[in-house]
Structure 1
Amino acid sequence: MSKTFLFDALREATDEEMQRDSSVFVLGEDVGHYGGSYKVTKDLHVKYGDIRVLDTPIAENSFMGMAIGAAMTGLRPIVEGMNMSFLLLAFNQISNNAGMLRYTSGGNFKIPLVIRGPGGVGRQLGAEHSQRLEAYFQAIPGLKIVACSTPYNAKGLLKSAIRDDNPVILFEHVLLYNLQDDIPDKDYFIPLDKAEVVREGKDVTIVTYSRMRHHVMEAVDLLIQDGFNPEVIDLISLKPIDIQTITLSLQKTHRLLIVEECMKTGGIAAEIIAQINDDYFDLLDSPIIRLSSKDIPTPYNGNLEKATIIYPKQIVDSVRKLLS
């Protein structure tokens, strides 16, 4: 085991998979000589050359199309979005091509494509650079979507995504790149369709993902001091949602709180609530509470920005309300 930053964990995963398989390559803006905007691809161009670590023009729709075409021919591209917000410019390619081509070709083509990069609300990055695109992409058939929250699961998820024969979007959070964690020295993989039970408990189920995992755990420390015993689940997989892990927890707790950085309208929490209400409503002893970001463009002003997202105090207050 060794202490590793999250950005280095992603770099290690990329390096190991490129070394193992010559069909794996990276493309995107400033991924080569600059080393990526958050240094996930630092120095990889020295080791693998400028073709396998390919700097592209500022033309997201074009290089996403190129990556999809490369995947159809048997290569395994990793597209870095310098900021995930920019990938809205490639939405057509991701939805109509990456998501659908395996189906519309009758299975003749596989699309082993990874799309990864930073997103989420940072520190005063402005509205256009503070997007949470998970809800935008959630409705697209044929995609797998995962969100890392620790260096450990970041590395394991990226390695699994690179080896998968379907298009996978890996959401990283811009404020988690400098998070440190113990990483095993041996090869390991994390499933793309399973949630993680971060903490077992019996009073309430708290479901979260990405940066909000850390806000939840801060709140849990306070709740434990007050005698509460919450169970915490990190979704990890946003598509498909691992509803089984959530319902197994609800069989114990019968109460559900969902904490997300996504917007409230049409967000990940909304989908979970719909699935629970459709099939598992009888497990609930009280209405589900969701804590989501405000449905507004993220303000640049620091205090206003803080007011749009969820912090530990709101989580503590919601658990107390559920258990009162």
Structure 2
Amino acid sequence: MTDTVFTESDRTDGIAPDMADQDTAPASVAPAADGVVPMNMIQALNSALHVKMAEDPNVLSFGEDAGYFGGVFRVTDQLQQKHGLTRSFDAPISECGIVAAAIGMGAYGLRPVVEIQFADYIYPAYDQIVSEAAKMRYRSGGQFTSPIVVRSPYGGGIFGGQTHSQSPESLFTHIAGLKVVIPSNPYDAKGLLTAAIEDDDPVIFLEPKRLYNGPFDGWHQKPVSPWKAQASAQVPTGKYTVPIGKAAVVREGSDVTILCYGTMVWVSLAGAEHAGVDAEVIDLRTLVPLDIETIEASVKKTGRCVIVHEAPKTSGFGGELSALVQERCFYHLEAPIARVTGWDTPYPHAFEWEYFPGPERVATALKSVMSGGAR
């Protein structure tokens, strides 16, 4: 019954596929002949788009101000100038229309990559994404696909207020037929976007704008937090992919497992250092499909689990992670699972930094589970 939900037919229990036969390497690296240069996340994403558009004439990019101007964050910079007006172009202010056009293009055989200017603007397109893109393969018995990528900056950190700072990832992880990808660094960003463009299923690709330019924002030139994020990374200029559905262990440890993604990877690393705990930090990288095997192995090793995400707690993706860990690792757990999240409120502009899970809140949760208690 689930064979035509995704291209793969090896899915096991909802969002958790069987990853046992997949390569355990974090990425397939570009050939040595390709240059490797420092890039921030914006540059890495832009490079991925240029490389794929040069390689495959079926790949195109469009969205509001995403053509000539190159996007409000410059991720689509110079695509129109290099690849032409029919491959990179501006769209009307109609998120529903943007995604609907992409779905039709995908069914026809193209591979559109559309930009929704902020994730907060994606809601008018939600019906098209959920009822059309996600269901295309299943409702046609595998005869038609929707190989589209919906890119969007998400999360806070730029003083954007309530309508430019939301984290809606859990709204998409609930929908069968969608893949959800969230990178945490420039290297992964390029490799994951390349893999998403090549994927035959619809991919929601959320980009943490707090990490776009590293630890400084583009408007105020001040540290956006007391922790240090990766401003740039050595990124191959040529093509490479990071596999969708494979998490990365970014810090090995034996005391407690931290599950996180996007900006919260860096917050979690800082929190572990602040707490002085030998924490194993896992960057999920993709929420659907979820690398449950890596999670399960880590929690069974450490016996404890802390989940960190920026979105509100209630019905956030941390709840799903907690349930999966409890189902698979119950007899290995030595303390209740803890969640460190945003508040259950609309995004509070005046209290932005209090809203964000920070290293201190992560450290408090780590110390609590180490003592056997819950937050």
Give TM-score, length-normalised by structure 2. 0.83
Match of 2:147 in 1: 112
- Map 1:258-277 → 2, pairs under 5 A: 258-277=307-326
Match of 2:194 in 1: 159
Q: Distance in 1 between matches of 2:103 and 2:237?
A: 32
Q: Greater share of helix residues, 1 or 2? A: 1
| One-letter amino acid of the counterpart of residue 191, structure 1 | P
Cα deviation code 1:138-196 (max 9, x no counterpart): 11110000101100000000000000000011110111111211113453211111111
Q: Structure 1 residue 263: deviation in Å?
A: 1.3
Q: Structure 1: where are the runs of 5+ without partners? A: none
Identity %: 40
Q: Distance in 1 between matches of 2:242 and 2:269?
A: 21
Which of 358, 361, 375 is the matching residue for 1:311? 358
Q: Distance in 1 between matches of 2:159 and 2:313?
A: 21
Cα deviation code 1:241-268 (max 9, x no counterpart): 2111111001210000011112101111
Match of 2:100 in 1: 65
Match of 2:226 in 1: none
Q: Structure 2: where are the runs of 5+ without partners? A: 1-35, 215-231
Match of 2:167 in 1: 132
Number of residue pairs the alignment of both structures matches: 319
Q: Structure 1 residue 54: deviation in Å?
A: 1.5
| One-letter amino acid of the counterpart of residue 101, structure 1 | M
Give the aligned CA root-mean-square deviation in angstroms.
1.1
Alignment of 1:239 with 2:288, yes or no, is: yes
Which of 223, 230, 241 is the matching residue for 1:189? 241
Cα deviation code 1:300-322 (max 9, x no counterpart): 21xx1222220001111111111
Alignment of 1:42 with 2:91, yes or no, is: no
Which of 129, 142, 145 is the matching residue for 2:180? 145
Q: Structure 1 residue 104: deviation in Å?
A: 0.2
Q: Distance in 1 between matches of 2:74 and 2:101?
A: 23
Match of 1:287 in 2: 336
Q: Structure 1 residue 121: deviation in Å?
A: 1.3
| One-letter amino acid of the counterpart of residue 87, structure 1 | I
Alignment of 1:323 with 2:358, yes or no, is: no
Secondary structure of 2:112's partner? strand
| One-letter amino acid of the counterpart of residue 354, structure 2 | A
Secondary structure of 1:51's partner? coil
Q: Is the 8 A contact 2:157 2:352 kept in 1?
A: no
Q: Distance in 2 between matches of 1:29 and 1:122?
A: 22
Which of 14, 37, 46 is the matching residue for 1:11? 46
Q: Distance in 1 between matches of 2:69 and 2:155?
A: 23
Q: Distance in 1 between matches of 2:151 and 2:191?
A: 14
Q: Structure 1 residue 60: deviation in Å?
A: 0.8
Q: Is the 8 A contact 1:10 1:40 kept in 2?
A: yes
Q: Structure 1 residue 92: deviation in Å?
A: 0.4
